[in-house]
Amino acid sequence: MSATSSEGSLGDQGTALSRGAVTSRTAPTQRVNATSGGSATKTAARPATAARKSKGPRRVRLAVARVDPWSVMKMSFLLSVALGIAGVILTAVLWMILSTMNVFSDIEGVLQSLQTTTSDPFSIKDYVGFGRVVSLSIVIGVIDVILMTAIATVMAFLYNICSALVGGVQLTLTDD
């Protein structure tokens, strides 16, 4: 591959990735080799990279310039569904533990001792039965999935607007 064809392909990449992607090019070392034409430049470039490797881990500064709202929506939907399922399971397990410990029976006994004689006694188990509690946790989980997905997607749009103004979040990555 000649130097001109590699420069042409880098130019194509520059235009294709100009919508906010961060790239690191290695073309300057190729251009130096192509213009000098000698093998001395190739050997001179190798000690510089060897010296850099012995110095320590390489550090690269990147900026998150844009977040794709569609991918944020998909990921937040999947994570919120997982949290919803975990919430329903947690509610069912907690209700079973409380029922096994006779907490509901003790509360009902206290409430009946406080009641005066009535024809229609109050029963706590009518309101906190297993089916009713799990059904309520499912409804809350579905609402949570919808809200978390919508909020995360709106936040992705807001991040894109803010990063266009201030440049995005700066990251420093190392290869340890």
The 10 Å Cβ neighbour count of residue 49 is 10
- Distance, in Å, from the CA atom of 22 to the CA atom of 18, rounded to the nearest integer, reads 8
The count of residues in the chain is: 176
Q: What is the pLDDT of residue 14?
A: 43
DSSP, collapsed to helix, strand or coil, labels residue 65 as coil
In sequence order, the β-bridge partners of residue 169 are 64
Q: What is the pLDDT of residue 17?
A: 45
Per-residue pLDDT of the chain (176 residues; tens, 9 = 90+): 444 444 444 444 444 444 455 555 444 444 444 444 455 555 555 555 555 556 788 889 999 999 999 999 999 999 999 999 999 999 999 999 999 999 988 988 888 888 777 777 777 888 888 999 999 999 999 999 999 999 999 999 999 999 999 988 999 999 87
In sequence order, the β-bridge partners of residue 173 are 60
Name the burial class of residue 27, with classes exposed (0-12), middle (13-18) and buried (19+) by CB atoms within 10 angstroms of its CB.
middle
10 close to 25: Cβ distance less than 8 angstroms: yes
- Distance, in Å, from the CA atom of 108 to the CA atom of 129, rounded to the nearest integer, reads 12
Q: Which residue has the tokens 């440049």?
A: 167
The conformation of residue 102, written as its DSSP 8-state character, comes to T
Token pair in block for residue 162:
């803010």
- Distance, in Å, from the CA atom of 125 to the CA atom of 108, rounded to the nearest integer, reads 8
Q: What is the pLDDT of residue 43?
A: 52
